[in-house]
Amino acid sequence: MACAAVMIPGLLRSSVGTICTPATSLRLTSSTLRHLTLTSIMKSKRKTDHLERTASVIRREVVSAAKVCGAADESPSVKRLHLLIADKDFSFKAGQWIDFFIPGVSVVGGFSICSSPRLLEQERMIELAVKYTNHPPALWIHNQCTLDSEVAVRVGGEFFFDPQPADASRNLVLIAGGVGINPLLSILRHAADLHRERANKGKGYEVGTIKLFYSAKNTSELLFKKNILDLVNEFPEKIACSLHVTKQTTQISAELKPYITEGRITEKEIRDHISEQTLFYICGPPPMTDFFSKQLENSHVPKEHICFEKWW
């Protein structure tokens, strides 16, 4: 379930059932971290490995110990984790991913962060949502990971939204497929934090409108539904969403129904949001990202306004 960055331009917190202990209680030492990351890099040789696919992608130097301080099922196939980060120099931009080093597991995971940078700043935590697959890091998360499990993490990726206070206001269109919602949820949460900051302090980056298009097989596989709708309801003048299901077999709840469309996200829906002030962020299966990025280019959207990442 690792991801590969392809082409990019230059908080509501969910409870997961436990209180995190201080980061200083982590037992992984710097020498242990170096051994863990070096051993994992040397052994992680499968052709489809995250490290190999992202070898040319920029990473931060900091490798931090982290402790699992919360876990919950987000859907029948996706587990959500909260990680307490030990190193105070660890930081990330909304949309980036982490290398995920697990003691005793030779293969390195690659998982997008789905929380806002603000959660890390305030509580020293990040959030992940990992789909069940036969990939060893995902298997470990679903079958062996427990509260207080210790891992190591390092930030990488060129897919992010990190506007500076003086930057021109931009509208965002976020297009997600399946677990590809993760980096886009981080961006959505970060945009909401920026809007709150400007509303409270009267300064900072001015967020434009945000439209999320999110497709999954059915409503049970639409991740973070409550978080998304809470943001839509908190900022109705700023944030809107269109949730798509392609193989729904059960009745859709009354709460979700106003936001649900049965069928795939269409080219016309996306084309209706094209403007000179709009950035498009796409994350999902490769055929989906290829389709929408090509359609946007064909509609004369500048390449620097189209940002996408593929999940494998």
Judging by beta carbons within 10 Å of its beta carbon (0-12, 13-18, 19+), is residue 280 exposed, middle or buried? buried
Q: Is the pLDDT of residue 7 over 50?
A: no
Please report the DSSP string for 290-311 in residue order. HHHHHHHHHTT--GGGEEEEEE
Mean pLDDT of all residues in 63-76: 97
**132-190 pLDDT, tens per residue?**
999 999 999 999 999 999 999 999 999 999 999 999 999 999 999 999 999 999 999 99
Residue 70's alpha-carbon distances to 15, 29, 66, 82, 292, in angstroms, are 8, 22, 12, 5, 35
- Alpha-carbon distance of 4 to 104, in angstroms, equals 24
- Strands 260-262 and 239-245 turn out to be parallel
Mean pLDDT of all residues in 290-294: 97
**90-125 pLDDT, tens per residue?**
999 999 999 999 999 999 999 999 999 999 999 999
| pLDDT reported for residue 28 | 65
Please report the DSSP string for 67-104 in residue order. EEEEEEEEETTEEEEEEEE--TT----BT-EEEEEETT
- Alpha-carbon distance of 137 to 130, in angstroms, equals 9
Q: Which residue has the higher pLDDT, 9 or 210?
A: 210
**26-44 pLDDT, tens per residue?**
666 666 666 565 555 545 4
| pLDDT reported for residue 189 | 98
List Cβ neighbours of 96 (8 Å cut-off, separation of 6 or more): 112, 113, 155, 156, 157, 159, 160, 183, 186
- Alpha-carbon distance of 226 to 224, in angstroms, equals 6
